[in-house]
Structures are given as C-alpha cells and as structure tokens.
Amino acid sequence: MTPLSRIILTLCLLFSIVSGVRSSEDTIDKYSFSQACMGTKFKIVTYSSYSYDDTAAIAKQAFALAHNMNAIFSDYMADSEVGKFNHCEPNKPQRASPYLLELLNVSAQITLRTQGNFDPTCGSLSRLWRISRRTNELSPPKELNAAKKACGFSNITIKNTSKEIIKLNPMTRLDFGGIAKGYTADKMLELLKNKGIRSASVSAGGDIVLGDPPPGKDKWRVQIIPYRDKNSKPIVIKISNAAISTSGNTEQSITIEGQRYSHILNPMTGLGSISENAATVIASKGTYSDPLATALCIMGKGGLKLIDESPHTEAILFLQRNKIIKRIYSAEFNKFID
C-alpha cells in the first residue's frame, strides 16, 4: 500500500460520475476541485448556489480536513497518531483523538463482522508484505507467525472515557489503509453539507461518497467498468446520500516462487490474496463501503452472505477465471442499476 492508500483502488473497476454540467436554475453552478492526499487524488464535485470563490473556500476547508486525517491515520508518518502508536512501548497509554477513537471502534465492529478479513491491527503483516513486494521474497515463517500473533483487537485496549489506547503486544501496528479514505470522504461531505452545500460528491480513488443528487436529477449516476474491460458494457448505478466503493485483486500483482499474489493483504495468510476477484459495495457511508469492498474480494462468494445480512448494504462480486468474468449480485443490488 502507498501512504494510506490501497493501490487496488487505482483501479480494477473504473468509476465516473455521470451528470449534467449545469442545472436548469441559473443560480446554481457545478464546480469541481481536486487535491492529492493519502496517496491518491481527492475530488469534490458540488452544485452550489454560492459564488465560485465562496464554494472554493469551503472546498479548501474540506481538503484541510483530509490532510488533518492523514496526519492522524498515516502509518508512513512517524509523527502521526498512528505512527506514534506503532512505535510506542507496550502497556503504555497513548492519547487518542476523537477521530482515531471513533475509527478504532467502528473498525473493531467491521473486523468482527468480516471474520477478520478486514483488520487494521494487522499493520505488522502489511509491513512484511510491503517488504516482500519490494524484494520479491516471502518473509521467513518465524517472522510471519510472530506478526500474525500481533494482529487482532485483543492486542489493543481502547479506553473511550480517558481517550487512550494501549498496545499489549510490542509488535502490534495499525494500518488504516483499507478504511481511512472512505471515512475521510464521509467527514468531508459532512463538512460540505454543514456549510450549505448538500448536492455534492467526494471521491478518493475507488471510493465515492454522495450527497443530494444534482438539481433536476433523481440520483447521481456512477459508472462501473469491470477490470477496465473496454469490451464490457458499463454498469450504471443510481444512488444518492450513500457511498460506493470498488476493490480488486487483479492489478499490482507479483509472482514469487511461481505463485501469483495480489497486493491486497489476506490477514488470514499474512500474504497477498491469490484470487482475481473484484467487488463493488454500496453502503450508507464510505466508512463501511471501503473496508467491505476489500473484505468481499478476499472472502469471495461466501462474503455475499455478510452483505445480505448488513442493513443498507448491497454488492456485486466479479469473479474472473481464464478471462471469463462472472458477476454475482447481492439480494437487492439490481434495484440500483439504471
């Protein structure tokens, strides 16, 4: 993973927002702004009754929030909150910001729901996998087993009242690469809405968080192109006030000792996933769609049961075998297809 980035989101499935350039109301204009952050490009699209300068000032605040989030969640920055936790001594309480506490608590719930296929406490494993991808060599079994033992929320104590977190295993590290962008996009959209811009979208790599639809439209339309296949007919999704995320195991792969591995870490094996799955998840927030998309890629067809049991959540799983793509839908995903 690049700094706070799942490279998988750059991209196996291609997102593009399809909408009119301008509403029928001359007082409302469409503005777009973008800025690099978290190893990817964040893009804001707004339909605003404010002037360009006023809208740009609000967008600037949203981007500043994203950079603040990066200073909290990046595991590449030694002075970030996560960086300090990763290098701290065990059994020593560390102060935690409200954002870090919130995301830890949410992540613990998602880790439980995904049976550990999404787990931000697996930073030690992701660190070893980065080294393997760079050196083209697998980690020694002893190192891999020690890193596995350092994974799991049982290795962390979260004290919400005192706003502290405690590392119990000296090797335990945090890596929020599979959820931080979706969470940040949620917070950015919330800021825009609080400032009076309700018709807006925030995209970050393969995560898109959407507010009210553009004026005169019933929904936002998001186009999905599986595996960047130019011969495949795009899937157009209609949603608003929701989030959509895509993830996949088909790019940025490496071959070690004859085995092809994805850059997506499988927490169960401590190695890259060996499947060629891709997934798109629709959820109420990017905080949920982001990690669930990655977990679904790892879990495969069996993960759709989790999606069907999750409220306000739908998904499509793409299984590629010998260049043949099979699509499997969750129970009510079709209702979002245009």
Structure tokens at 161: 């009242």
Domain range for 152 is 86-167
Which residues lie below 8 Å from residue 2, measured CB to CB, with a gap of 6+?
39, 40
Q: What was the pLDDT predicted at 27?
A: 86
Q: Are 256 and 128 in contact (CB under 8 A)?
A: no
Q: Are 144 and 270 in contact (CB under 8 A)?
A: yes
CB neighbours (10 Å) of residue 51?
11
Q: What was the pLDDT predicted at 333?
A: 96
Structure tokens at 118: 């999404």
CATH number of the domain where residue 90 is located: 1.10.3980.10
Q: What was the pLDDT predicted at 275?
A: 84
Phi, psi (degrees; rounded to nearest 5) at 271? -120, 175
Structure tokens at 67: 């950079």
Q: Are 328 and 317 in contact (CB under 8 A)?
A: yes
d(CA 64, CA 86): 24
106 domain-assigned: yes
What pLDDT tens digit does each residue of the chain (338 aa) get?
333 333 222 333 334 444 434 444 458 999 999 999 999 999 999 999 999 999 999 999 999 999 999 999 999 999 999 999 999 999 999 999 999 999 999 999 999 999 999 999 999 999 999 999 999 999 999 999 999 999 999 999 999 999 999 999 999 999 999 999 999 999 999 999 999 999 999 999 889 999 999 999 999 999 988 777 667 788 999 999 999 999 886 556 889 999 989 888 999 999 999 888 899 999 999 999 999 999 999 999 999 999 999 999 999 999 887 777 889 999 999 999 98
134 domain-assigned: yes
Structure tokens at 15: 């997102």
51 domain-assigned: no
100 domain-assigned: yes
Q: What was the pLDDT predicted at 13?
A: 32
* pTM recorded for the entire structure: 0.91
Tell whether omega for the bond before 174 is within 30 degrees of 0, i.e. cis: no
Beta bridge partners of 22: 29
d(CA 277, CA 260): 13
Q: Provide the terminal-to-terminal Cα distance of the chain, rounded to the nearest Å.
A: 33
285 domain-assigned: no
162 domain-assigned: yes
261 domain-assigned: no
pLDDT in tens, 134-146: 999 999 999 999 9
Domain count along the chain: 1
Structure tokens at 143: 């190192």
The DSSP bridge pattern shows strands 40-48 and 200-204 to be antiparallel
Burial tier of 170 (Cβ tally within 10 Å: 0-12, 13-18, 19+): exposed
